[in-house]
Structure 1
Amino acid sequence: MAAHSPLIVGIGGTTGGSSSTETALRIALAAAEALGARTLLFGGEAIAALPHYTAKSSTRTAGEAALVTAVRDASGLILASPGYHGNVSGVVKNALDLLEETARDARPYLTDLPVGLIATAYGWQATGSTIAALRAIVHAFRGWPTPFAAAVNCRLSRFDANGAPSDPEVAEQLALVGRQVADFALRIGAPLDIAS
């Protein structure tokens, strides 16, 4: 492990539990771990259990609090969404909306964090538009999308029971996302305390 072991938080999946999207995210997180990062996954089951985000709510569930705390502690994120009707899924967007809780933090939102992006869909059109939507969200959150984003066309590449894609190139692309986030996080060190 490196002297500085950054935390990389993965957010993504579907309401159906284990999915191609969550499997892809796990591959990227494993690649980040291989470079010395610590990782924490908020997969489909965790994000599907989050209530609809309401900004005016004065209380948060344990799941909401855990996700916000993890993002506050993170040195980088990896976001993975299925392409539903050409865009980010509702459960992933709801999880991201929860980051409004960090608006008044010393480091608001995803300021200066590297963020890797993954989209899965049954065809190329939805993967491209979903990645574009994720990039726009990350920019709005003041984060830095990594140079490479992985698009997984599930019509052409499927994951086996062990989580390996049928196309080795897909595995490499997902690993590249994880490596880019971890490498950037390792270079910049621990999250800055902007207030000090």
Structure 2
Amino acid sequence: MHIVGLGGSFRVPSTSLSALRVALRAAMTDSDVDVDLLDLRTLDLPPNGSAGPCAGVSRLVRAAAAADAMIWSAPMYHGTVSGAFKNAVDWLDELAGLDPPFLTNRPVGLIATAAGAQALQAVNTMEFAVRALRGWVVPFVVPVNAAQDAFRADGTIADRALAGRLSALGSMVAQGARCFAGTAAPAVRGRAEQWTTGLAG
């Protein structure tokens, strides 16, 4: 099973990235699971629709195309996900060229971090996006309110209960990937080929 984590922010440390790491570690507990972490700060994605094939978009699209499942982790800014995260999700439209398209029959776990008490709003936004991409949202989601208090300055988690919830999410995503095993396996064709063939990195 191959699980891809997508998230983070341009802040250092990033609470959404720290939370994502905890969930991915839990998903790796079983020997048949490997993970790939896509950090938005280092992906360096151009605005959706503004560029042709480039390294960051190629890495994102290739990773998502190969994933048996994904975990998304976004910061909440002004009531919704960050612009950088939404831009990354918009680039997943390039998966239209898969057969079946987009994230069909692939489970996606959702995490959102907020300085206030409205992290669930960002989770709800992500749920709509997963459904639009034909994926399956894992029923257990992790909204992290007052995230600045849940993580230490070095990015490590300080809240044991939160660590347990994030670990549970990672395990559930791995379980979901097994349930859907053999039903997602997309064949690359059409538009997605420009991102998955002939590009370095």
| 8 Å Cα contact 2:111-2:142 kept in structure 1 | yes
Identity level (%): 38
Structure-2 separation of matches of 1:65 and 1:43:
14
Within the candidate set 180, 185, 188, 2:177 is matched to: 185
| One-letter code aligned to 2:38 | F
| 8 Å Cα contact 1:9-1:41 kept in structure 2 | yes
Identify the residue that residue 157 of structure 2 maps to in structure 1.
165
Q: Please say if 1:90 is aligned against 2:91.
A: no
Within the candidate set 49, 58, 61, 2:54 is matched to: 61
Structure-2 separation of matches of 1:140 and 1:111:
10
| 8 Å Cα contact 1:157-1:165 kept in structure 2 | no
Which secondary structure does the structure 2 equivalent of 1:16 belong to?
A: coil
Identify the residue that residue 111 of structure 1 maps to in structure 2.
104
Q: Please say if 1:39 is aligned against 2:35.
A: yes
Within the candidate set 47, 54, 63, 1:52 is matched to: 47
Q: Deviations over 1:138-188 (max 9, x none)?
A: 011111000111011235732125644222110011111111111111233
Structure-1 separation of matches of 2:149 and 2:183:
36
Within the candidate set 134, 137, 150, 2:129 is matched to: 137
| 8 Å Cα contact 2:92-2:102 kept in structure 1 | yes
| 8 Å Cα contact 1:9-1:42 kept in structure 2 | yes
Give the superposition deviation at 1:16: 2.3
Structure-2 separation of matches of 1:163 and 1:64:
26
Give the superposition deviation at 1:88: 0.8
Structure-2 separation of matches of 1:43 and 1:191:
27
- Runs of 4+ deviating beyond 3 Å: 161-164, 190-195
Give the superposition deviation at 1:15: 1.3
State the TM-score, normalizing by the size of structure 2: 0.86
Give the superposition deviation at 1:191: 5.5
Structure-1 separation of matches of 2:6 and 2:12:
13
Identify the residue that residue 11 of structure 1 maps to in structure 2.
6
Identify the residue that residue 18 of structure 2 maps to in structure 1.
23
Structure-2 separation of matches of 1:135 and 1:66:
23
Instruction: Give the aligned length.
Output: 186
Aligned residues: CA RMSD: 1.8
Which secondary structure does the structure 2 equivalent of 1:157 belong to?
A: helix
Structure-1 separation of matches of 2:10 and 2:156:
21
